[in-house]
Amino acid sequence: MRVAVIGTGYVGLVTGTCFSDMGNEVWCVDVDEKKIENLKKGIIPIYEPGLSELVFKNFNSGALNFTTDIAEALKRCSICFIAVGTPMGEDGSADLHYVLAVAESIGKYMDHHMYVVDKSTVPVGTASKVRAKIQEELDKRNSDLTFDVISNPEFLKEGTAVSDCMKPDRIVIGVDNEAAAETMRELYRHYVLNTDNFILMDIASAEMTKYAANSMLATKISFMNEISRICEQVGADVNKVRKGIGSDKRIGYSFIYPGCGYGGSCFPKDVKALVTTAAEYGYEAKLLTAVEDVNYEQKHVIADKVKKRFGEDLSGKTFAVWGLSFKPDTDDMREAAAITIINDLTAAGAKIKAYDPKAMGEAQKCYLKDNTNIEYVERKYDALKEADAMILITEWKEFRSPDFEEIKAILKNPVIFDGRNIYGKKTAEKYGFEYYQIGVKD
Protein backbone atom coordinates (compact mmCIF):
# COMPACT_ATOMS: atom_id res chain seq x y z
CA MET A 1 0.00 0.00 0.00
CA ARG A 2 1.09 3.62 -0.47
CA VAL A 3 1.11 5.63 2.72
CA ALA A 4 1.90 9.26 3.50
CA VAL A 5 2.92 10.21 7.03
CA ILE A 6 2.81 13.91 7.78
CA GLY A 7 5.23 14.81 10.55
CA THR A 8 8.61 13.17 11.17
CA GLY A 9 8.71 13.54 14.92
CA TYR A 10 8.77 10.63 17.30
CA VAL A 11 5.46 9.06 16.28
CA GLY A 12 5.59 9.88 12.59
CA LEU A 13 9.12 8.68 11.96
CA VAL A 14 8.69 5.41 13.84
CA THR A 15 5.30 4.72 12.26
CA GLY A 16 6.41 5.54 8.72
CA THR A 17 9.60 3.54 9.03
CA CYS A 18 7.83 0.46 10.37
CA PHE A 19 5.18 0.61 7.62
CA SER A 20 7.96 0.73 5.02
CA ASP A 21 9.67 -2.25 6.62
CA MET A 22 6.51 -4.29 5.93
CA GLY A 23 6.75 -3.62 2.21
CA ASN A 24 4.58 -0.52 1.94
CA GLU A 25 5.73 2.51 -0.05
CA VAL A 26 5.92 5.33 2.49
CA TRP A 27 6.36 9.06 2.06
CA CYS A 28 7.29 10.92 5.24
CA VAL A 29 6.60 14.64 5.01
CA ASP A 30 7.85 17.50 7.16
CA VAL A 31 8.04 21.28 6.76
CA ASP A 32 11.51 21.30 8.32
CA GLU A 33 13.85 21.19 5.32
CA LYS A 34 16.96 20.60 7.40
CA LYS A 35 15.37 17.65 9.17
CA ILE A 36 14.35 16.09 5.85
CA GLU A 37 17.82 16.55 4.38
CA ASN A 38 19.37 15.02 7.49
CA LEU A 39 17.02 12.04 7.33
CA LYS A 40 18.06 11.46 3.73
CA LYS A 41 21.66 11.39 5.00
CA GLY A 42 20.77 8.93 7.75
CA ILE A 43 20.89 11.49 10.55
CA ILE A 44 18.06 10.63 12.97
CA PRO A 45 16.69 13.49 15.11
CA ILE A 46 15.75 11.28 18.08
CA TYR A 47 17.33 8.40 19.96
CA GLU A 48 15.26 5.24 19.75
CA PRO A 49 16.84 1.76 19.82
CA GLY A 50 16.74 0.06 16.43
CA LEU A 51 15.24 3.00 14.55
CA SER A 52 18.30 4.30 12.70
CA GLU A 53 19.03 0.85 11.25
CA LEU A 54 15.48 0.52 9.92
CA VAL A 55 15.52 4.02 8.44
CA PHE A 56 18.82 3.33 6.68
CA LYS A 57 17.66 -0.02 5.30
CA ASN A 58 14.29 1.11 4.00
CA PHE A 59 15.46 4.46 2.65
CA ASN A 60 18.18 2.75 0.64
CA SER A 61 15.70 0.17 -0.67
CA GLY A 62 13.36 2.91 -1.87
CA ALA A 63 10.48 1.87 0.39
CA LEU A 64 10.92 4.90 2.66
CA ASN A 65 11.00 8.40 1.20
CA PHE A 66 11.40 11.85 2.76
CA THR A 67 10.06 15.10 1.33
CA THR A 68 8.86 18.58 2.23
CA ASP A 69 6.31 18.50 -0.60
CA ILE A 70 2.98 17.34 0.82
CA ALA A 71 1.31 17.67 -2.60
CA GLU A 72 3.73 15.15 -4.07
CA ALA A 73 3.13 12.70 -1.24
CA LEU A 74 -0.65 13.00 -1.50
CA LYS A 75 -0.59 12.34 -5.24
CA ARG A 76 1.28 9.10 -4.66
CA CYS A 77 -0.69 7.82 -1.66
CA SER A 78 -4.26 6.89 -0.78
CA ILE A 79 -3.74 6.76 2.99
CA CYS A 80 -2.48 9.81 4.84
CA PHE A 81 -1.50 9.71 8.49
CA ILE A 82 -1.48 12.96 10.47
CA ALA A 83 1.35 12.55 12.99
CA VAL A 84 2.28 16.11 13.93
CA GLY A 85 2.70 17.40 17.46
CA THR A 86 -0.16 18.44 19.72
CA PRO A 87 1.66 20.51 22.35
CA MET A 88 -0.05 21.50 25.54
CA GLY A 89 -1.70 24.91 25.38
CA GLU A 90 -1.58 27.45 28.18
CA ASP A 91 -4.93 26.24 29.49
CA GLY A 92 -3.81 22.59 29.51
CA SER A 93 -5.71 21.64 26.36
CA ALA A 94 -4.12 19.99 23.31
CA ASP A 95 -3.08 22.56 20.72
CA LEU A 96 -4.54 21.39 17.40
CA HIS A 97 -2.93 24.12 15.31
CA TYR A 98 -0.54 21.75 13.51
CA VAL A 99 -3.15 19.02 13.03
CA LEU A 100 -5.62 21.41 11.41
CA ALA A 101 -2.87 22.96 9.27
CA VAL A 102 -2.19 19.49 7.84
CA ALA A 103 -5.92 18.97 7.28
CA GLU A 104 -6.02 22.25 5.38
CA SER A 105 -3.14 21.12 3.17
CA ILE A 106 -4.84 17.80 2.50
CA GLY A 107 -7.97 19.65 1.36
CA LYS A 108 -5.90 21.87 -0.90
CA TYR A 109 -3.82 19.20 -2.62
CA MET A 110 -5.67 15.86 -2.62
CA ASP A 111 -6.70 14.75 -6.12
CA HIS A 112 -8.36 11.39 -5.36
CA HIS A 113 -10.21 9.69 -2.52
CA MET A 114 -8.15 9.83 0.66
CA TYR A 115 -8.22 7.91 3.90
CA VAL A 116 -7.07 10.50 6.44
CA VAL A 117 -5.88 8.92 9.69
CA ASP A 118 -5.41 10.85 12.92
CA LYS A 119 -2.32 9.30 14.53
CA SER A 120 -1.50 12.31 16.69
CA THR A 121 -2.85 12.23 20.23
CA VAL A 122 -5.94 14.38 19.95
CA PRO A 123 -9.01 15.05 22.12
CA VAL A 124 -12.47 13.73 21.41
CA GLY A 125 -14.04 15.68 18.57
CA THR A 126 -10.84 16.28 16.61
CA ALA A 127 -11.87 14.03 13.72
CA SER A 128 -14.91 16.24 13.15
CA LYS A 129 -12.67 19.31 13.08
CA VAL A 130 -10.29 17.64 10.64
CA ARG A 131 -13.21 16.61 8.45
CA ALA A 132 -14.62 20.15 8.47
CA LYS A 133 -11.26 21.71 7.60
CA ILE A 134 -10.65 19.35 4.66
CA GLN A 135 -14.18 19.89 3.36
CA GLU A 136 -13.77 23.66 3.68
CA GLU A 137 -10.75 23.55 1.38
CA LEU A 138 -12.48 21.23 -1.08
CA ASP A 139 -15.46 23.58 -1.22
CA LYS A 140 -13.12 26.45 -2.08
CA ARG A 141 -11.96 24.38 -5.04
CA ASN A 142 -15.54 23.44 -5.98
CA SER A 143 -14.37 19.87 -5.72
CA ASP A 144 -16.59 16.83 -5.24
CA LEU A 145 -13.70 14.61 -4.09
CA THR A 146 -14.51 12.31 -1.18
CA PHE A 147 -12.49 11.28 1.86
CA ASP A 148 -12.76 9.39 5.13
CA VAL A 149 -11.38 10.45 8.51
CA ILE A 150 -10.17 7.64 10.77
CA SER A 151 -8.84 7.64 14.33
CA ASN A 152 -5.85 5.35 14.97
CA PRO A 153 -4.19 6.41 18.24
CA GLU A 154 -0.59 5.39 18.86
CA PHE A 155 0.53 3.42 21.91
CA LEU A 156 4.30 3.59 21.44
CA LYS A 157 6.59 3.55 24.46
CA GLU A 158 9.81 5.51 24.18
CA GLY A 159 12.71 3.09 24.32
CA THR A 160 10.70 0.21 22.82
CA ALA A 161 8.80 2.08 20.10
CA VAL A 162 10.05 0.01 17.15
CA SER A 163 9.06 -3.23 18.86
CA ASP A 164 5.72 -1.72 19.92
CA CYS A 165 5.03 -0.70 16.34
CA MET A 166 6.06 -3.99 14.74
CA LYS A 167 4.44 -6.20 17.40
CA PRO A 168 1.59 -4.13 18.84
CA ASP A 169 -0.42 -5.45 21.77
CA ARG A 170 -3.47 -3.81 20.23
CA ILE A 171 -4.47 -1.64 17.28
CA VAL A 172 -7.38 0.66 17.96
CA ILE A 173 -9.29 1.92 14.93
CA GLY A 174 -12.12 4.43 14.99
CA VAL A 175 -14.22 4.51 11.81
CA ASP A 176 -17.71 5.37 10.63
CA ASN A 177 -17.99 3.03 7.64
CA GLU A 178 -16.96 -0.45 6.55
CA ALA A 179 -14.78 0.67 3.62
CA ALA A 180 -12.53 2.62 5.98
CA ALA A 181 -12.41 -0.33 8.37
CA GLU A 182 -11.41 -2.73 5.57
CA THR A 183 -8.65 -0.37 4.40
CA MET A 184 -7.14 -0.32 7.88
CA ARG A 185 -7.46 -4.11 8.20
CA GLU A 186 -5.47 -4.47 4.98
CA LEU A 187 -2.79 -2.03 6.14
CA TYR A 188 -2.33 -3.75 9.49
CA ARG A 189 -2.92 -7.37 8.50
CA HIS A 190 0.78 -8.29 8.82
CA TYR A 191 0.99 -6.74 12.27
CA VAL A 192 -1.91 -8.54 13.89
CA LEU A 193 -1.69 -12.31 14.09
CA ASN A 194 -4.40 -12.38 16.73
CA THR A 195 -7.49 -10.69 15.36
CA ASP A 196 -8.59 -9.88 18.91
CA ASN A 197 -5.84 -7.25 18.92
CA PHE A 198 -7.46 -5.36 16.06
CA ILE A 199 -10.15 -3.37 17.84
CA LEU A 200 -12.77 -1.51 15.81
CA MET A 201 -14.93 1.17 17.39
CA ASP A 202 -16.53 4.52 16.70
CA ILE A 203 -14.25 7.51 16.20
CA ALA A 204 -15.02 9.30 19.47
CA SER A 205 -14.30 6.15 21.49
CA ALA A 206 -10.98 5.64 19.70
CA GLU A 207 -9.97 9.21 20.45
CA MET A 208 -10.93 8.73 24.09
CA THR A 209 -9.10 5.41 24.40
CA LYS A 210 -5.66 6.99 24.08
CA TYR A 211 -6.29 9.54 26.83
CA ALA A 212 -7.94 6.97 29.07
CA ALA A 213 -5.01 4.56 28.70
CA ASN A 214 -2.33 7.11 29.55
CA SER A 215 -4.38 8.59 32.38
CA MET A 216 -4.87 5.12 33.87
CA LEU A 217 -1.12 4.45 33.84
CA ALA A 218 -0.37 7.86 35.31
CA THR A 219 -2.94 7.18 38.01
CA LYS A 220 -1.18 3.93 38.99
CA ILE A 221 2.12 5.78 39.26
CA SER A 222 0.72 8.61 41.36
CA PHE A 223 -1.20 6.16 43.53
CA MET A 224 1.98 4.24 44.35
CA ASN A 225 3.91 7.43 44.95
CA GLU A 226 1.23 8.61 47.36
CA ILE A 227 1.43 5.25 49.15
CA SER A 228 5.19 5.76 49.36
CA ARG A 229 4.68 9.09 51.12
CA ILE A 230 2.33 7.47 53.62
CA CYS A 231 4.78 4.60 54.15
CA GLU A 232 7.49 7.06 55.11
CA GLN A 233 5.19 8.61 57.72
CA VAL A 234 4.04 5.37 59.33
CA GLY A 235 7.33 3.48 59.13
CA ALA A 236 6.35 0.96 56.43
CA ASP A 237 8.57 -0.07 53.50
CA VAL A 238 6.92 0.73 50.17
CA ASN A 239 9.09 -1.84 48.38
CA LYS A 240 7.54 -4.61 50.48
CA VAL A 241 4.08 -3.12 50.10
CA ARG A 242 4.54 -3.10 46.32
CA LYS A 243 5.30 -6.82 46.33
CA GLY A 244 2.36 -7.47 48.59
CA ILE A 245 -0.18 -5.77 46.35
CA GLY A 246 1.43 -6.60 43.02
CA SER A 247 1.02 -10.32 43.66
CA ASP A 248 -2.72 -9.74 43.40
CA LYS A 249 -3.47 -10.53 39.75
CA ARG A 250 -6.17 -7.88 39.72
CA ILE A 251 -3.46 -5.26 40.38
CA GLY A 252 -0.23 -6.68 38.93
CA TYR A 253 3.27 -5.20 39.11
CA SER A 254 3.21 -2.88 36.11
CA PHE A 255 3.44 0.83 36.88
CA ILE A 256 3.42 0.44 40.67
CA TYR A 257 7.10 1.13 41.21
CA PRO A 258 7.61 4.17 43.45
CA GLY A 259 9.88 6.89 42.13
CA CYS A 260 10.37 10.60 41.69
CA GLY A 261 7.40 11.22 39.40
CA TYR A 262 6.36 10.54 35.81
CA GLY A 263 7.40 12.71 32.87
CA GLY A 264 7.79 12.48 29.11
CA SER A 265 5.74 13.68 26.17
CA CYS A 266 2.57 11.72 26.94
CA PHE A 267 1.45 11.30 30.54
CA PRO A 268 1.72 14.93 31.74
CA LYS A 269 0.20 16.36 28.57
CA ASP A 270 -2.55 13.78 28.18
CA VAL A 271 -3.72 13.91 31.80
CA LYS A 272 -3.95 17.69 31.62
CA ALA A 273 -5.76 17.54 28.29
CA LEU A 274 -8.33 15.09 29.61
CA VAL A 275 -8.92 17.24 32.69
CA THR A 276 -9.44 20.23 30.39
CA THR A 277 -11.75 18.30 28.06
CA ALA A 278 -13.86 17.21 31.01
CA ALA A 279 -14.09 20.82 32.21
CA GLU A 280 -15.22 21.94 28.76
CA TYR A 281 -18.17 19.59 29.12
CA GLY A 282 -18.94 20.80 32.64
CA TYR A 283 -17.35 17.92 34.56
CA GLU A 284 -14.63 18.29 37.19
CA ALA A 285 -12.15 15.41 36.90
CA LYS A 286 -11.24 15.23 40.58
CA LEU A 287 -9.25 12.01 40.47
CA LEU A 288 -7.11 13.09 37.50
CA THR A 289 -6.50 16.47 39.09
CA ALA A 290 -5.22 14.65 42.18
CA VAL A 291 -2.99 12.49 39.96
CA GLU A 292 -1.38 15.67 38.63
CA ASP A 293 -0.98 17.19 42.09
CA VAL A 294 0.69 14.08 43.52
CA ASN A 295 3.07 13.90 40.57
CA TYR A 296 4.03 17.56 40.96
CA GLU A 297 4.85 17.08 44.63
CA GLN A 298 6.71 13.81 44.03
CA LYS A 299 9.27 15.50 41.82
CA HIS A 300 10.41 17.55 44.82
CA VAL A 301 10.86 14.59 47.20
CA ILE A 302 14.49 13.77 46.39
CA ALA A 303 15.64 17.38 46.68
CA ASP A 304 13.80 17.63 50.00
CA LYS A 305 15.64 14.54 51.25
CA VAL A 306 18.97 16.03 50.17
CA LYS A 307 18.22 19.27 52.03
CA LYS A 308 17.10 17.35 55.10
CA ARG A 309 20.46 15.54 55.14
CA PHE A 310 22.77 18.42 54.17
CA GLY A 311 20.78 21.49 55.25
CA GLU A 312 18.56 23.99 53.49
CA ASP A 313 21.59 26.02 52.37
CA LEU A 314 23.55 23.84 49.96
CA SER A 315 26.18 26.44 49.11
CA GLY A 316 29.55 24.76 48.74
CA LYS A 317 27.99 21.35 48.14
CA THR A 318 28.29 19.35 44.92
CA PHE A 319 26.06 16.46 43.94
CA ALA A 320 26.59 13.78 41.33
CA VAL A 321 23.48 13.10 39.26
CA TRP A 322 23.10 9.85 37.36
CA GLY A 323 20.35 10.08 34.75
CA LEU A 324 18.57 13.02 33.13
CA SER A 325 16.02 11.56 30.69
CA PHE A 326 12.51 10.94 31.97
CA LYS A 327 13.03 7.17 31.54
CA PRO A 328 15.79 4.84 30.28
CA ASP A 329 16.51 4.19 26.59
CA THR A 330 15.51 7.65 25.38
CA ASP A 331 17.03 11.11 25.19
CA ASP A 332 13.64 12.70 25.91
CA MET A 333 13.70 15.15 28.83
CA ARG A 334 10.22 16.59 28.49
CA GLU A 335 8.75 16.96 32.00
CA ALA A 336 11.63 14.86 33.38
CA ALA A 337 11.98 14.67 37.16
CA ALA A 338 15.67 15.54 36.75
CA ILE A 339 14.74 19.07 35.71
CA THR A 340 12.85 19.74 38.94
CA ILE A 341 15.39 18.00 41.18
CA ILE A 342 18.41 19.76 39.71
CA ASN A 343 16.74 23.18 39.71
CA ASP A 344 15.65 22.69 43.33
CA LEU A 345 19.19 21.83 44.39
CA THR A 346 20.93 24.60 42.49
CA ALA A 347 18.36 27.13 43.75
CA ALA A 348 19.56 26.15 47.24
CA GLY A 349 23.16 26.88 46.25
CA ALA A 350 24.39 23.46 45.12
CA LYS A 351 26.57 22.55 42.16
CA ILE A 352 25.71 19.56 39.98
CA LYS A 353 27.91 17.12 38.08
CA ALA A 354 25.64 15.22 35.71
CA TYR A 355 25.93 12.16 33.52
CA ASP A 356 23.38 10.51 31.21
CA PRO A 357 24.12 8.08 28.36
CA LYS A 358 21.91 9.93 25.84
CA ALA A 359 20.20 13.03 27.23
CA MET A 360 23.02 15.43 28.09
CA GLY A 361 22.76 17.17 24.73
CA GLU A 362 19.05 17.79 25.27
CA ALA A 363 19.73 19.13 28.75
CA GLN A 364 22.42 21.51 27.57
CA LYS A 365 20.61 22.91 24.54
CA CYS A 366 17.10 23.04 25.94
CA TYR A 367 15.81 21.84 29.30
CA LEU A 368 18.61 22.99 31.59
CA LYS A 369 20.38 25.43 29.28
CA ASP A 370 19.89 28.40 31.62
CA ASN A 371 21.24 26.60 34.68
CA THR A 372 24.91 27.56 34.92
CA ASN A 373 25.58 25.41 37.99
CA ILE A 374 25.76 22.13 36.09
CA GLU A 375 28.87 20.38 34.79
CA TYR A 376 28.32 17.54 32.31
CA VAL A 377 30.79 14.64 32.27
CA GLU A 378 31.44 11.79 29.84
CA ARG A 379 31.69 8.93 32.36
CA LYS A 380 29.37 8.12 35.23
CA TYR A 381 32.22 7.77 37.69
CA ASP A 382 33.61 11.18 36.70
CA ALA A 383 30.43 12.73 38.08
CA LEU A 384 31.35 11.42 41.53
CA LYS A 385 34.63 13.32 41.80
CA GLU A 386 34.48 15.95 44.57
CA ALA A 387 30.77 15.22 45.02
CA ASP A 388 29.20 15.17 48.47
CA ALA A 389 26.64 12.53 47.48
CA MET A 390 25.28 10.62 44.50
CA ILE A 391 21.69 11.01 43.27
CA LEU A 392 20.22 8.39 40.94
CA ILE A 393 17.28 9.72 38.92
CA THR A 394 16.95 7.55 35.79
CA GLU A 395 17.34 3.78 36.02
CA TRP A 396 19.51 3.16 32.94
CA LYS A 397 20.89 -0.40 32.77
CA GLU A 398 24.45 0.81 33.20
CA PHE A 399 23.50 2.24 36.60
CA ARG A 400 21.91 -0.94 37.96
CA SER A 401 25.03 -2.85 39.02
CA PRO A 402 27.78 -0.30 39.51
CA ASP A 403 31.06 -0.79 41.37
CA PHE A 404 29.99 0.33 44.84
CA GLU A 405 33.54 0.16 46.14
CA GLU A 406 34.62 2.64 43.48
CA ILE A 407 31.64 4.88 44.18
CA LYS A 408 32.52 4.93 47.86
CA ALA A 409 36.20 5.61 47.14
CA ILE A 410 35.45 8.58 44.88
CA LEU A 411 32.63 10.32 46.77
CA LYS A 412 33.52 12.72 49.54
CA ASN A 413 30.79 11.13 51.65
CA PRO A 414 29.33 7.61 51.26
CA VAL A 415 25.80 8.89 50.60
CA ILE A 416 23.34 7.74 47.91
CA PHE A 417 19.90 9.15 47.16
CA ASP A 418 18.06 6.58 45.06
CA GLY A 419 15.14 8.13 43.19
CA ARG A 420 14.08 4.80 41.68
CA ASN A 421 14.73 2.36 44.57
CA ILE A 422 16.93 0.11 42.43
CA TYR A 423 19.78 -0.61 44.85
CA GLY A 424 18.05 -1.52 48.10
CA LYS A 425 18.98 -0.95 51.70
CA LYS A 426 20.81 -4.26 52.14
CA THR A 427 23.16 -3.60 49.25
CA ALA A 428 23.82 -0.06 50.40
CA GLU A 429 24.54 -1.11 53.98
CA LYS A 430 26.82 -3.92 52.77
CA TYR A 431 29.11 -1.33 51.24
CA GLY A 432 28.77 1.17 54.08
CA PHE A 433 26.54 3.80 52.44
CA GLU A 434 24.02 6.13 53.93
CA TYR A 435 21.07 5.25 51.73
CA TYR A 436 17.97 7.32 51.11
CA GLN A 437 15.13 6.00 48.96
CA ILE A 438 11.50 6.65 48.09
CA GLY A 439 8.86 5.35 50.49
CA VAL A 440 11.10 4.27 53.35
CA LYS A 441 11.56 6.39 56.47
CA ASP A 442 14.99 8.03 56.58
Buried b (16+ CB within 10 A) or exposed e, 35-46: bbeebeeeebeb
Q: Which of 214, 100, 95, 96 is nearest to 154 (CA)?
A: 214
The b-or-e profile of 382-405 (16+ CB within 10 A means b, else e) is ebbeebbbbbbbbbbeebeebebe
Active site residue 266: yes
Instruction: For the beta carbon of residue 306, count every other beta carbon within 10 angstroms.
Output: 24
Q: Of 165, 231, 266, 366, which residue is the catalytic one?
A: 266
Nearest to 418 by CA among 313, 332, 335, 337: 337
Q: What is the torsional sign of CA 48, 50, 54, 55? A: positive
Q: Is 273 exposed, middle or buried (0-12, 13-18, 19+ CB in 10 A)?
A: buried
Between CA 243 and CA 205 the distance in angstroms is 34
CA distance 349 to 277: 40
Q: Which residues are catalytic?
A: 266
